[in-house]
A and B are shown apart, each in its own frame.
Chain A
């Protein structure tokens, strides 16, 4: 089976053409920028991430307690006024974003990774491992998530942020596991998977390189939703006052506003409302971005 090739062609053949539009990142980019909603969501998410991660490096971190400045209204010096200790509310707001975002993202990453790995293994191989994992998710799903988190957090008082990620992530993987497993079970009956099996490509290649890329959009969107859920859960724990109050945190701000009745004080309005606005904006941004991603990564939607 040998055919001679035009040597001029050879050069073209040996170099893979890199077209940006067709690469994964390229598709991500076009998907995110093409629809106005997806673009707006991406901008919103990026803005809040920059605000929370780059912001603390830019602003003046000197924010002393000042008894003469307690609860002042917004001014040129204090954009969002000051809080109950006379500290600048805007500085606190900027410093409070990083933790919920990275802890939430880490939790979602862990949950998605576990769900995708176990889900595809269970869905592809079935049999005993599937039965065991399915039982495990049944148990996980039955346990009330928030109560479990409360119990764990209450038990380990000085829980580090990554510990919170694990706790939150461990309550979220089961649902995604189920849908991944179902999708793999459906995809593995497709003819291209059979063709790969007929070429003896090996189970791990078939699962991770033939099947999973077809679910990339689904996994990405679910990851984004998981980030959302995880941030809600973490902020919720802070609001309930169950977390160590060392690091500044939007959840902690809400907790203080609520437990110390700041919301009754009209001057305290910026302190009470801004963390809520940040969380709501970030959530909306994530959801709209997720929808844009879904379109970008789903070949059927992409074609339109």
Chain B
């Protein structure tokens, strides 16, 4: 594997023209996916996760910025390189019911790409390969699935067929767009385990999109999480860091919203800061300054609504941690100043043991 990351999104922007005016679905996203690693994109509905994924998969052409595969921008690729990229990067749709052609059998769906790209010589070989793929995604015994039609399969089985189809191309990168969100919880984990095996055994890189932090935590523990809000990455870092020690107020809100089966823990979580508003601003009319400020519990007039915060490294986790928040950045500057000037009487340090709200209101 070369040093260049498998996939790099460089200042990716996607603006859609609508009747209500231009909609900046993605406004400048910089991310990387490495081979055998997982990058999880989390965020609420409409924050641009899927749009980012679709641009990364080459389904849509970004309005600005670049998608680079192995250091080569999609727009600069020769047709041959483009074909290689098409094969190496596979996309798994959210809806397992819509992503399979209802008129084709599982075998026919799985072998179409194999035949087209000359990966198999004849029908027998194609069927054997299809059976192998089905075994790989735990649809065993394969011969009881090969001649089935999608409507004869359950949701989980269909999604496995979708995964198998993308694996037929020997992908290096799988882009999963909420691929587990339509599945039953019981099936979700087994599919995640299947995907995890591909990641570990076949060194497949993942751009994994989800709105479910539990899934992100489970699947991307060794990888990274990028939290998106209204088209921008607001926090990015290694998964244990982001989940265990969230910095951005939005990440904190997301983590606070995860359902907790333990009532005591749930009560403890509830005491943490509440959002000021549940309403998501319209993408056609983004708030000035930080897009999150109308909802942010740490909002400070004059700071947050004037300029847009940049996604800056916090210095934690070997510089792999990035947060886009004026308040966090200011607190950190003060923290370093404090360290330099021994003590100040006001505690402005973000202490994970204290209530974050107390620190912010100081």
| Interfacial residues, chain A to chain B (CB-CB below 8 A) | 1-3, 5, 9-10, 12-14, 16-17, 19, 22, 190-192, 194-202, 205, 209-210, 213-214, 216, 299, 303
Residue of A3, A9, A192, A216 touching B101 (CB-CB under 8 A): A192
B132 an interface residue at 8 Å Cβ cutoff?
yes
Report whether B98 and A192 are in contact in the complex, using a CB–CB cutoff of 8 Å.
yes
Instruction: Supply 6 A–B pairs (Cβ within 8 Å), ascending by A.
Output: A2-B132, A191-B95, A200-B83, A200-B86, A201-B112, A210-B104
B103 an interface residue at 8 Å Cβ cutoff?
yes
Q: In the complex, which residues of chain B have a beta carbon less than 8 angstroms from the beta carbon of A303?
A: 151
Residue of A1, A13, A22 touching B131 (CB-CB under 8 A): A13
Cα distance A121–B98 when bound, in Å? 23
Which residue of chain B lies nearest to A11 when distances are taken between CB atoms in the complex?
B143
Which residue of chain A lies nearest to B135 when distances are taken between CB atoms in the complex?
A3
CB distance from A77 to the nearest CB of B (A): 55
Cα distance A197–B89 when bound, in Å? 12
CB distance from B162 to the nearest CB of A (A): 7
B281 an interface residue at 8 Å Cβ cutoff?
no
Cα distance A12–B107 when bound, in Å? 13
CB distance from A208 to the nearest CB of B (A): 12
Q: In the complex, which residues of chain B have a beta carbon less than 8 angstroms from the beta carbon of A199?
A: 86, 90, 112-113, 116, 165, 168-169
Report whether B113 and A201 are in contact in the complex, using a CB–CB cutoff of 8 Å.
yes
Q: In the complex, which residues of chain B have a beta carbon less than 8 angstroms from the beta carbon of A17?
A: 143, 146-147
Residue of B57, B91, B98, B202 touching A1 (CB-CB under 8 A): B202
Closest CB pairs A-B (n = 7): A199-B113, A213-B103, A191-B98, A12-B143, A13-B131, A191-B99, A192-B101
Q: In the complex, which residues of chain B have a beta carbon less than 8 angstroms from the beta carbon of A213?
A: 101, 103-104
Known contacts A9-B141, A14-B128, A299-B151: does B101 contact A201 (CB below 8 Å)? no
| Interfacial residues, chain B to chain A (CB-CB below 8 A) | 57, 59, 83, 86-87, 90-91, 93, 95, 98-105, 107, 112-113, 116-117, 124, 127-128, 131-132, 135-136, 141-143, 146-147, 149, 151, 162, 165, 167-170, 202
Report whether B101 and A1 are in contact in the complex, using a CB–CB cutoff of 8 Å.
no
Report whether A22 and B149 are in contact in the complex, using a CB–CB cutoff of 8 Å.
yes
Q: Which one of A10, A13, A190 has the greatest number of beta carbons of chain B within 10 Å?
A: A13
CB distance from A260 to the nearest CB of B (A): 54
Q: In the complex, which residues of chain A have a beta carbon less than 8 angstroms from the beta carbon of B93?
A: 191, 194-195
CB distance from A55 to the nearest CB of B (A): 38
Report whether B131 and A5 are in contact in the complex, using a CB–CB cutoff of 8 Å.
yes
CB distance from B109 to the nearest CB of A (A): 8
Report whether B116 and A9 are in contact in the complex, using a CB–CB cutoff of 8 Å.
no
Report whether B103 and A13 are in contact in the complex, using a CB–CB cutoff of 8 Å.
no
Q: Which one of B90, B103, B147 has the greatest number of beta carbons of chain A within 10 Å?
A: B103
Report whether B162 and A3 are in contact in the complex, using a CB–CB cutoff of 8 Å.
no
Q: In the complex, which residues of chain B have a beta carbon less than 8 angstroms from the beta carbon of A14?
A: 124, 127-128
Report whether B117 and A200 are in contact in the complex, using a CB–CB cutoff of 8 Å.
yes
Q: In the complex, which residues of chain B have a beta carbon less than 8 angstroms from the beta carbon of A19?
A: 147
Known contacts A1-B170, A192-B98: does B142 contact A16 (CB below 8 Å)? no
Cα distance A194–B136 when bound, in Å? 24
CB distance from A129 to the nearest CB of B (A): 22
Cα distance A46–B143 when bound, in Å? 39
Known contacts A14-B128, A198-B59: does B116 contact A214 (CB below 8 Å)? no
Report whether A16 and B98 are in contact in the complex, using a CB–CB cutoff of 8 Å.
no
Residue of B57, B103, B117 touching A214 (CB-CB under 8 A): B103
Q: In the complex, which residues of chain B have a beta carbon less than 8 angstroms from the beta carbon of A3?
A: 132, 135-136
Cα distance A13–B102 when bound, in Å? 21
Q: In the complex, which residues of chain A have a beta carbon less than 8 angstroms from the beta carbon of B149?
A: 22
Cα distance A214–B104 when bound, in Å? 9
Report whether B131 and A192 are in contact in the complex, using a CB–CB cutoff of 8 Å.
no
CB distance from B108 to the nearest CB of A (A): 9
Which residue of chain B lies nearest to A215 when distances are taken between CB atoms in the complex?
B103
Report whether B57 and A198 are in contact in the complex, using a CB–CB cutoff of 8 Å.
yes
Q: In the complex, which residues of chain A have a beta carbon less than 8 angstroms from the beta carbon of B83?
A: 200
Cα distance A148–B113 when bound, in Å? 47
Report whether A205 and B131 are in contact in the complex, using a CB–CB cutoff of 8 Å.
no
Known contacts A1-B170, A3-B132, A299-B102: does B142 contact A195 (CB below 8 Å)? no
Report whether B103 and A216 are in contact in the complex, using a CB–CB cutoff of 8 Å.
yes
Q: In the complex, which residues of chain A have a beta carbon less than 8 angstroms from the beta carbon of B116?
A: 199-202, 205
CB distance from A72 to the nearest CB of B (A): 57
Residue of B105, B143, B151, B162 touching A195 (CB-CB under 8 A): B162
